Amino acid sequence: MVEPATPETVLRLTGITKRFGAVTANDAVSFALQKGEVIALLGENGAGKTTLMNILFGQYTADEGTVEIFGRQMPPGHPRAALDAGVGMVHQHFTLAGNLTVWENIVLGAQPLGALSLNASAARDKVRALAARFHLKVDPDARVGRLTVGERQRVEILKALYRDARILILDEPTAVLTPQETDALFATLREAIGLGLSIVFISHKLHEVMAISDRVLVLRHGRLVAERATAQTTRHELAALMVGAEVTVPEVAQASPGAPLLSLRRVSTPDSGTAPGLQAVTMTLCAGQITGLAGVSGNGQAALSDLVSGLIAPTSGEMDLAGAPVRGWSPRTALAQGVARIPEDRHKTGTIADFDLTENAILESYASRFSRRGWMDWSGARRFAERLIATYDVRCPGPDIRVRLLSGGNMQKLILGRVLESGARIILANQPVRGLDIGAVSYVHGRLTAARDAGAAVLLISEDLDEITRLSDVIHVISEGRLSPPFARGTMQPQELGIWMSGQRFDEAGHAA
């Protein structure tokens, strides 16, 4: 890493402290960002990364400390000032209006509200020019509500660039991206650095931090505990700094598969909007085996997941459960037949945010396990929730608090507990570790492996190829609703899987047939 001759400090945070009630989210954090530099802000969920960036962006007001941008002190709690000073923030949860087009979202707020015209053609042209220069492929006239997650993120970045941002803050930008999209994002960021922008990159994915950053700042419990030049550190060291202890990634041993529990033979399902349905898919989930589903998001994963969880029924083909043909397939029969689900979106379909932990813990079993003659058994339910909290290490004040207040990792542990304690024979794990920190990831993976060893059939759907190859005993690749043949553990290189994911191998097979 070559240090510029005269480093120009574009951003300086001094002694930032922020308290939420009794919790200190940021404790006297100070750092400076140089021009053309990428700082990675590394830390587990709840370490205070997002809070710190929201203070920098003026969305929160710090209790102590100052923010200086290009040498000017920022007034606290004033996003407008940060924007005008050249800070662009790409939030983890996108701030886009789905009813507006791409260019409308981008110019929102960029022009004075009193202006008499939007000057649409000039705005479109500028968006197109920016998109071309930064290789951010997106149609300015598309409605944002119809875009994929990856495309939406490009819109967020364009939004910042449109306003001539010179400092980009990216909050967990890769949490929702496929590997290919992540690579494209990194290419864009390198482009931006080349043009003199500076970047703060918030993440807990170590390999990404190593790939993109010049310097790493590690946050733990709101305090800045370490600062390393990326070139002089290792993933291992960073992991240890992040959690405050040595981390070991468990090796997953080979499994001994048992009887087939669920088999699909040439099953098709209808398309749903832009998401393709399944096309003559054949797969078998065996007891004691993790079956991984690799693929770029939006290629039929949702259809397969909905099919297994009973939300949709096949339009053609055969579906057997433990050797017997399936009839009247619905979520209710799926649950009764021992299918348990870790849904893709834990906020939307996994939990009910304003219900408490007890209620969420029994969402799938309240009628069967926790009621007697039509009356709820609340004391039993509460005991069950307490057991989940203890067994699955759900960090929370108690079973009576609303699930909304849990961090993502703890919410996922609660769902995991609900799934594993249901005595399910088939476990559908859809993106089970998306957005979780290292500690939680290795915990969830360990539990899934243990469930496999106890004889469950696990279907693991993930866009993270590392996760798929490490955990799965058998891998299928899905592309445009078509499913590859099963590949046994260790027989496939990631590159080869990537070619399958791109759909190329399917086309070849199609021509051969």
Partner 1 sequence: MDLFDILLSASFWAATIRIASPLIFATLGELICERAGVLNLGIEGIMVAGAFAGWVAVLNGLPLWGGVAVAMAVGMALGAVHSVLSVPFGLSQHVVGVGLTLLASALTFYTYRVMLPEVSSPPKIAAFQPYEVPLLSDLPFFGQALFSQTPLTYAAFVLAGLVALVLYRTPLGLAVRAAGESPAAVAAQGLSVTAIRMGAVIVGSGFMAVGGAFLTMSAFDSFFFEMVNGRGWICIALVVFGAWKPGKALLGALLFAAFDALQIRLQQTPMGALVPYQVFLMLPYALSILALVVMSRRAEVPAALMVPFNKGER
253: contact with partner 1 by CB under 8 A? no
Cβ-contact 304, 264 below 8 angstroms: no
98: contact with partner 1 by CB under 8 A? yes
SS3 helix, strand, coil % of the chain, rounded to 5? 35, 25, 40
Applying CB under 8 A, among 1, 22, 113, 513 the residue interacting with partner 1 is 113
117: contact with partner 1 by CB under 8 A? yes
348: contact with partner 1 by CB under 8 A? no
Task: Name which of 1 and 115 has its Cβ closer to partner 1.
Answer: 115
CB of 113 to partner 1, least distance (A): 5
Beta bridge partners, 340, equal: 427
Point out which span in 105-113, 180-188, 266-274, 337-345 binds partner 1 (CB under 8 A). Answer: 105-113
For residue 294, the Cα-to-chain-centroid distance in whole angstroms is: 15
CB of 46 to partner 1, least distance (A): 13
Beta bridge partners, 227, equal: 217
Task: Name which of 95 and 272 has its Cβ closer to partner 1.
Answer: 95
Residues 17-76 binding partner 1 (CB under 8 A) are: 58-60
Report which of 134, 178, 180, 175 is spatially closest to residue 154, judged by C-alpha positions: 134
Applying CB under 8 A, among 45, 105, 305, 358 the residue interacting with partner 1 is 105
Count of CB atoms situated within 10 Å of the CB of 409:
23
110: contact with partner 1 by CB under 8 A? yes
Applying CB under 8 A, among 30, 111, 391, 504 the residue interacting with partner 1 is 111
306: contact with partner 1 by CB under 8 A? no
Count of CB atoms situated within 10 Å of the CB of 223:
16
Task: Name which of 91 and 445 has its Cβ closer to partner 1.
Answer: 91
Q: What is the SS3 string spanning 106-174?
A: HHCCCCCCCCCCCCHHHHHHHHHHHHHHCCCCCCCCCEHHHCCHHHHHHHHHHHHHHCCCCEEEEECCC
Rounded Cα distance, 185 and 191, in Å: 10
CB of 9 to partner 1, least distance (A): 24
121: contact with partner 1 by CB under 8 A? no
CB of 51 to partner 1, least distance (A): 10
Tokens (6 digits) for 40: 């990675």
200: contact with partner 1 by CB under 8 A? no
Burial of 80 per CB tally in 10 Å (0-12, 13-18, 19+): exposed
Applying CB under 8 A, among 37, 44, 104, 473 the residue interacting with partner 1 is 104
CB of 410 to partner 1, least distance (A): 14
Point out which span in 68-76, 89-97, 306-314, 329-337 binds partner 1 (CB under 8 A). Answer: 89-97
Task: Name which of 406 and 475 has its Cβ closer to partner 1.
Answer: 406
Count of CB atoms situated within 10 Å of the CB of 280:
14
Ramachandran quadrant class, 393 (left: phi over 0; alpha: psi -120 to 50; beta: rest): left
Applying CB under 8 A, among 10, 13, 40, 83 the residue interacting with partner 1 is 83
Cα–Cα separations (whole angstroms), residue 22 to 51, 55, 243, 495: 15, 18, 22, 49
Three-class DSSP category at 298: coil
Task: Name which of 78 and 124 has its Cβ closer to partner 1.
Answer: 78
Applying CB under 8 A, among 18, 91, 489, 505 the residue interacting with partner 1 is 91
196: contact with partner 1 by CB under 8 A? no
The secondary element (H helix, E strand) that includes residue 180 is helix 179-194
Residues 399-438: x where in contact with partner 1 by CB under 8 A, - otherwise, as a string: -----x----------------------------------
CB of 130 to partner 1, least distance (A): 17
Cβ-contact 419, 342 below 8 angstroms: yes
Task: Name which of 83 and 420 has its Cβ closer to partner 1.
Answer: 83
Q: Which residues bind partner 1 (CB under 8 A)?
A: 58-60, 78-84, 89, 91, 93, 95-100, 104-105, 107-118, 120, 404
